[in-house]
Amino acid sequence: MWREIRDREAGKTRPNSFKNRVSSSRISNLQLSNYKDVVSPHRGSINSLQVDLTEGRYLLSGASDASASVFDIQHATDFEGAGEGALIAKHKSLINIDKQHQNGHKFAISSAIWYPIDTGLFVTGSYDHYIKVWDTNSTQMVINFKMPGKVYRTAMSPLATSHMLIAAGTEDVQVRLCDIASGAFAHTLSGHRDGVMTVEWSTSSEWVLVTGGCDGAIRFWDIRRAGCFLVLDQSQSQLGRRPPVLARSAVSKVSTSKALSKGQNLPGKPRMPQKKSGGGNGIKHSPLGQVPAKGLKQRLHPGMLSSQDRATAHYGAVTGLKITEDGMYLLSAGSDSRIRLWDIESGRNTLVNFETARLQTSKPIQLATAQDSNLVFVPCMTSVKAFDVWSGKMYVTFRGHYEYVNCCWFSSQDQELYTGGNDRQILVWSPARLISNEDASPAEDRDNWSD
C-alpha cells in the first residue's frame, strides 16, 4: 500500500489507476464488519435496500412488516465497546414509517427507492397495491398511486432530466409509468403475458426501460413509442464480450489502410442491375409476402404476434436485473437458478457460464455490482455470492445470515456491501480495517497476572 502511495506521489501511477487499484484491494478484503452495525427496527424480512445516489450517506430499507426506515451510515448514533478498546459504531434508524402511521402501508413493502437527485423524497411499493411517495423531512405521504395488483418492484431513472417517472412492475401483465409531476399514470407498456417481477432503467439512456416477467421474458422499451423494441432470446448467443469500440475502430482503420496500400478493392456487394417498371422509374417493387433479403431487419408492429415476440430469456420467472455502469451489458437472474450476461447492443446471450448457484424462486431478488462492474453480488439462499462478471467464476461467498437473503446494495463511496434477509437483519460487509501500531506501548508485553 505504501509503495503504491509513493508511486502516486512520484507520478509513476496515474490518479485513476491508483484509485481503481485501491478500490479493488478494498473490495477483495470485504468481510462482516466488526466496527459498524446497522440496528434494524424491522419485525419482518428485509426486501429492499438502497443508499442514496447523491451523498452516499443515507440507507433506505423496506420490510415485509410494512415498515420503511432511513439510516445515516456515515455518522453513528451510538458507540458500543467490544473489548480491548475497540468500539462498534451503532447506526439506528432516523426515520421509521410503519403500519401505525396514518398513511402507512397495510401489507409488506416490496420495494423502497430514493428519488435519484435528492434525498428529500423516497418511494415505496407494497403488496397492498399502492405506490407511495414520501417527504423525508416531514415523514408525510405526498402522492399515492393505486395499482391493479401487488407491487413487486419500482424504479426511477438516475439519468432523467426530462421526466419524473416511476416504473412499476406488478402482478398485472402491464408495466405502468407513474408521473410524480402530475400525480397520474403517464402510460402503460403492454407485452408481457404474466406478472412483471423486476424493472430496471438503462444507465446510458433516460428513455430506455428493461423489464423481466414471470413469463420468462426480458423486454426493452423506449417509453417515447409504443411497443417494446427488443425481446431477449436465450437461444440467440455470441461467445464472450465484444471488443471496445475504440479497439474495433482502430483495427478497421489498419485493415483499410493495408488494403489501400496494396491496391486491393475493398470487399463489397456487387450492384445488381435494377429493372425499370413500365412507368420508367427505377423503383423496385417487391411482391407481398416476399421474405426480405438476408441481413435486413423486418420491423414488426408492436401488436404483432411472432416467434420473436414469444422469446424467453429464462426457463421460469425473471427475478432480478442489473445493468452495468457503462450500459452495455445486462445481468439477469431467474427462477431456473441461472445467471446470464447479455450484450445489450446485439441482444444476445454471451454464454458466460456462472458457477452453480441456488436462487429463490418465489420472490424478486436485488442484485448489485461493484463500482467497475467487474463483480456482481447475487443473493443465493442464505448467502451472498460474488461472481466475476466476465468469466462467471465465483470470487467469494459472504455467509452471515441465518435465513434467505433477499437484497443487497454495494456502496461505491465506501466500498461496503449491505445485505438484508428473512432473519430481519441488515448486515454490513466492510474492508478489513488495518490496526495501526502507532499507539503501541511497552504495556502490551506485560503478562496477564501483572499488576
Show the cell assigned to 376: 456482481
Q: Which helix (H) or strand (E) holds 261?
A: helix 245-261
3-state secondary structure of 5: helix
More confident: 158 or 253: 158
In this prediction, residue 433 carries a pLDDT of: 72
CA-closest candidate to residue 67, choices 107, 121, 122, 120: 107
Average pLDDT value for residue range 177-187: 91
More confident: 123 or 26: 123
Q: Report yes or no on whether pTM surpasses 0.75.
A: yes
In this prediction, residue 310 carries a pLDDT of: 81
**Share of residues in the chain with pLDDT > 90 (%):** 57
In this prediction, residue 303 carries a pLDDT of: 44
In this prediction, residue 306 carries a pLDDT of: 55
In this prediction, residue 415 carries a pLDDT of: 86
Give the integer Cα–Cα distance in Å for 412 and 325: 12
Task: Report the b/e string of 343-360 with b at 16+ CB within 10 A.
Answer: bbeebbbbebebeebebb
Average pLDDT value for residue range 92-121: 93
The answer, yes or no, to whether residue 275 has pLDDT greater than 80, is: no
In this prediction, residue 199 carries a pLDDT of: 96
The confidence band for 284, taking pLDDT boundaries of 50, 70 and 90, is: very low
Give the integer Cα–Cα distance in Å for 358 and 349: 20
In this prediction, residue 83 carries a pLDDT of: 56
In this prediction, residue 447 carries a pLDDT of: 44
More confident: 226 or 9: 226
The answer, yes or no, to whether residue 368 has pLDDT greater than 60, is: yes
In this prediction, residue 441 carries a pLDDT of: 41
CA-closest candidate to residue 191, choices 206, 165, 169, 207: 169
The confidence band for 439, taking pLDDT boundaries of 50, 70 and 90, is: very low
The answer, yes or no, to whether residue 132 has pLDDT greater than 80, is: yes
In this prediction, residue 66 carries a pLDDT of: 94
Angle at 242 between CA 239 and CA 243, to 5 degrees: 130
Name which of 26-30, 79-83, 127-131 the model is least confident about.
Answer: 79-83
- Residue entry with cell 410494512: 66
Name which of 30-44, 122-136, 435-449 the model is least confident about.
Answer: 435-449
Name which of 80-94, 341-355, 399-413 the model is least confident about.
Answer: 80-94
- Residue entry with cell 434467505: 404
The answer, yes or no, to whether residue 107 has pLDDT greater than 90, is: yes
In this prediction, residue 244 carries a pLDDT of: 56
The confidence band for 356, taking pLDDT boundaries of 50, 70 and 90, is: confident
In this prediction, residue 357 carries a pLDDT of: 82
More confident: 295 or 173: 173
3-state secondary structure of 131: strand
The answer, yes or no, to whether residue 232 has pLDDT greater than 60, is: yes
The confidence band for 414, taking pLDDT boundaries of 50, 70 and 90, is: confident
In this prediction, residue 403 carries a pLDDT of: 94
Give the integer Cα–Cα distance in Å for 32 and 37: 10
More confident: 217 or 278: 217
Name which of 96-100, 176-180, 209-213, 276-280 the model is least confident about.
Answer: 276-280
Q: Is the separation of the CB atoms in 114 and 60 below 8 Å?
A: yes
Average pLDDT value for residue range 183-197: 91
Average pLDDT value for residue range 50-71: 94
Show the cell assigned to 330: 445486462
Show the cell assigned to 271: 450492384
The confidence band for 280, taking pLDDT boundaries of 50, 70 and 90, is: very low
